[in-house]
Chain A
Amino acid sequence: MNRQAFLRILGVSSLLPLSWLWSRMILTQDKYLTASVSQKKFRNLADGINLFDEVIIVRNPGKTMVFSSRCTHAGCRITRSENNILLCPCHGSRYDATTGKVLKGPAFESLHPLPFSLDQITGTITVKI
């Protein structure tokens, strides 16, 4: 083995611990971030569809649903609704606002419902994001 070959092997093999370090750093950071799940409170919402940055809250008499505003297809934020249909502006997926189910693709997975609690007295909706 000459010096050049030795250095090449050394260089390539050093990528392994570097990659390990890289991945551990990010995964540890992930754990740290997910440990601090943020809660958001929404008050006095109108009946029907309420679009927010991260969540969509659909209030119908007797039933409230909270969905992630992230389109399940490619991750765009859903910003519009029309006749009780949620529309993704990027690739045209359509979801039923009451159930979150896909009405028209390209998405095939329903919108992700988010856990929430509803204070019946004040009407405040607390969503875990």
Chain B
Amino acid sequence: MKNCLRLLLFDTYGRIATAALLLCILSGIFLAIPYDISLPYLSVTLMVTANPYASLIRNMHYWSAQLFLVFTLIHLVDHLKQSTEDNIKSRYTWLGVTLSLLVTAYAMISGFILKADPDSLQARRILAGLLESLPVGGRILQQTFMGNEKNFQPVYIHHLSTATLLLVIVIYDHARTIWGSLKTLLITLFMIGLLSFFFRAPLSTMDENILKGPWYFVGFQEMLHFFSHPVYLLVFSFLVLAVIFLLPLFRPSIRKVVKYLLFCFLFVYLILTLVAFFFRGENWKWQWPWEHSYHLKTALRWKPLTFHTPVKPVFVVLGRAEGCVACHGGMKGLTESHNVHQTGCFSCHRGDPFTLDKTQAHRHMEMVPGNLSNARMTCGSPGCHPGICDRIPGSLMATLTGMISVDRFAFGENKTPDGVAGLANLGNTAADRHLQHLCVGCHSGNEKTKPGPTAWLDRGGGCNACHLGYEKQARAEFEQQRGKQGVLPLYHPSISLNITNDRCMSCHSRSGRIATSYEGWHETLLKPNEVKNLKGFKILPDGRVFSYTGSDIHYQKGMGCIDCHGSYELMGDGNAYRHKEQAVMVQCIDCHRKDTGNTVKLREADRETQLIYGLRGWKEDERKMAVTEKGNRPLSNTCLAGDSAWMMVGKTTGKTMKMKPPAAACTKGKAHSRLSCEACHTEWVPQCIGCHNAYEKETLGDNMLTGRPEQGSWVEYKDKFLADKPVLGIREKKIVTMTPGMIMSIDIGSFTGKPETINRRLYAPASGHTTLAKGRSCKSCHNDPLAIGYGRGILTYQVTGKTGRWKFEPRFTAKKADSLPEDAWIPFLKERKDISSTRLNIRPFSIEEQHRILTVGACLTCHKENAALMIQSQDDFQKTLQKRIANCVLPVW
């Protein structure tokens, strides 16, 4: 065994360390030629990317330094173990040896700093801060050995001269030689050569989220994570050095204990190093090594150097040389902001930017950047859109908080529909399984798994959901190259702000169905073959049949979804909202103004608005843009032309549209001051009733969260899809539009095994997106049982003598569970005491309000809507009532 070891160990540890140092100095001399102190990071990336010879020298410099450090430590431990410290007679020599540990540490870390990548810059800041925090002479040491943040000169000088010189002196002083044997030098050179050929010295990019020091200091980084006062750690390190220096003065018995403690410390440090290296992720959070970590995957790059790479032009992108652009520099199709020569490839697609070798460059590449799982490393990396990326995970389209809370409430698992929830904590309860089988496929975090044009049924995809567009050429090329390997793509899909309505359609054609309603389509229960070749019907790619019912005026005028809904609504504004109406900022009154209202000039607007404005290629001017009353967000596509003429430019069409102020009727009198705009102007909303949900153990369903098929699934049976004017209800003080959101029965017993059924009658706020310029008639509210909440049927005012009474004959039969007609929200002329809406702040009309509405309704049975009397009554209804003649019969209740 010993013979084997002797064979392996060709010389003493100290001599190997010395040989490594000599090779390190030698490679350092050559490395200084391509290294540029004024552009350190760029010069290093250039070497690594395009100059394999310089890269080899850099690798040799790195690996010889690592070997020097490792063998120096082993040398020290070995000698302490053998108690040979007594062999050094001079105290000065021993002092030099002790201090050389400090110098070695400085030489190593200064080398790490000189590559000037983000890890280096943060290490430099920490070291400078640590030195400065020393109680005596801290500032002087910091200025001497670190210098000012942007000046690499002191570090460079001390690295290559001071530290090197001191190390050579110390080695000569205690070993009396520096040359050792030629054999040792050659074997060490061979080892270093091998390592340098196969493993690249570390170099990180400016887009990294995980910051780690060099491997020998990550143990310190881990310790610092637990120390509130880093200076104690520094003082502790000095104490360790002092103990080593004083070691020869101790009695042998004490010396043994001290050495034991030192070895223990070294062992603990080793463990901490392993923990820090393998178990720490972004923001120093604990993570298991097998959890997704780009950093760990790429920490040690197995990358044999290639010297036969054809010479290609090397492009500098974002302050670094990027090998990818050498091949992909001709890529067309990207907008200016994401042009290859502006942002390179690596910022989005990762991989290895510092190579011209195809295989190596494509290793660990993100084929589909922009998914929320990788957005922090791609679109949201520190140099690109970190702010937006931080907002999106908390936005409603990513959390689905409202949807989850309401569903859990419907299933009786939440006490209110206003809870806080997230996709991450969906469990195995009946409601959560229901969500997984039927609802949660639509969220922005849903992964886009393959590159290529987004199919209609693809939902989510993070940033891609809206911003990725396959234009004609890119689409054609993708189809042509599908399945082929080794073909250089020439057309990239665009990453742009050109977000057309179809991006919203796949998700928003469901539930509230705002996207389809906006374009005038109402879902039916018809089958595709029933409407084949029939006009007025549309079959969606998922097989659902829609009938044309009438589109929104804004759609007719050419407006798209994004003309109203801006970046802070769609990507979140940093606030955690529970329901969509809280997250949506824009209101009708923001555009349809009577006066100039709240405005802002472009140069006064926030950065995001300015960027969007600029990226759309709009000319900067001094005109004012409208600002939303709620949330105070500028509407970048609006402008005040003249004194009070508000204009809008279609974001995708470029079409200019005039925004009309509200009609006189809208603001006339006090009678309708509580009406929201949509209460009158919503032409129809989709209304589904009689829905039944059951869990079927034998049915094969899809878990929308995992994307995997599952045995046993919740199934939804639909009864009727109706398109009618919305029901009205009260949100806080406003009259708003409502729709039967959850009139359904849930066979909960099919899931739990106990015979039990939940019946729900919950109305939900409706954002119809079927606005028309003409508002609804007076009778459509005051004489319509559906509008008041009684459901469809015949509402008649019966007068017998001097007594008038309202009668209601429902169209639908009463449900057994609550004796209310299938589509009703409230019983006729009664109130409900339970939670009747999917929001806590929304309620149906109270008895008193129903009486008031129907009293006007009684008048309307005789008087015409546009009669002068009825118009006059809007100013003061009570006054008008007092003037009534004897023939007028008011209802009794």
Chain B nearest CB: distance from A53 CB in Å? 9
CB distance A92 to B126 under 8 Å?
A: no
CB distance B283 to A23 under 8 Å?
A: no
Partner of A76, one of B125, B390, B608: B125
CB distance A89 to B284 under 8 Å?
A: yes
A68-110 Cβ-contact flags toward B at 8 Å (1 or 0)? 0010011111011111100111111000000000000111100
Partner of B607, one of A27, A30, A45: A45
CB distance A76 to B225 under 8 Å?
A: no
Which residues in A have their C-beta under 8 angstroms from that of B283?
80, 87-89, 92
Given contacts A76-B122, A90-B126, A122-B604, whether A26 and B226 have CB atoms under 8 Å apart is no
Bound-state Cα–Cα, A106 to B228, Å: 5
Chain A nearest CB: distance from B727 CB in Å? 35
A61 within 8 A of B: yes
B826-870 Cβ-contact flags toward A at 8 Å (1 or 0)? 000000000000000000000000000000000000000000000
Bound-state Cα–Cα, A37 to B677, Å: 55
Which residues in B have their C-beta under 8 angstroms from that of A70?
125, 129
CB distance A82 to B390 under 8 Å?
A: yes
Partner of B228, one of A45, A61, A73, A92: A73
B window 212-231: CB within 8 A of A: 221, 224-228, 230
A66 within 8 A of B: no
Bound-state Cα–Cα, A98 to B610, Å: 24
A50 within 8 A of B: yes
Bound-state Cα–Cα, A107 to B226, Å: 9
CB distance A73 to B209 under 8 Å?
A: no
Which residues in A have their C-beta under 8 angstroms from that of B632?
61
B210 within 8 A of A: yes
Given contacts A73-B228, A80-B382, A106-B226, whether A46 and B387 have CB atoms under 8 Å apart is yes
Given contacts A87-B283, A106-B227, whether A26 and B382 have CB atoms under 8 Å apart is no
Partner of B129, one of A33, A49, A75, A92: A75
Bound-state Cα–Cα, A12 to B632, Å: 70
B110-134 Cβ-contact flags toward A at 8 Å (1 or 0)? 0000000000011001101110000
CB distance B574 to A48 under 8 Å?
A: yes
Which residues in B have their C-beta under 8 angstroms from that of A26?
139-140, 143-144
Which residues in A have their C-beta under 8 angstroms from that of B285?
92
Bound-state Cα–Cα, A22 to B143, Å: 11
Between A and B, 12 residue pairs with Cβ closer than 8 Å are A26-B143, A27-B139, A44-B603, A45-B606, A46-B606, A76-B126, A80-B283, A81-B387, A89-B284, A91-B224, A122-B604, A123-B604
Given contacts A81-B387, A106-B226, 15 further A-B contacts (CB under 8 A): A23-B140, A27-B139, A27-B140, A48-B574, A49-B387, A51-B386, A70-B129, A74-B224, A83-B576, A89-B122, A89-B282, A90-B211, A105-B228, A106-B225, A122-B604
Q: Which B residues lie at the A interface, using CB under 8 A?
A: 121-122, 125-126, 128-130, 137, 139-140, 143-144, 148, 209-211, 221, 224-228, 230, 282-285, 382, 386-387, 390-391, 394, 573-574, 576, 603-608, 610, 632
Please name the 6 residue pairs, one residue from A and one from B, whose CB atoms are nearest each other, closest first.
Answer: A75-B129, A92-B284, A89-B211, A46-B606, A91-B225, A87-B283
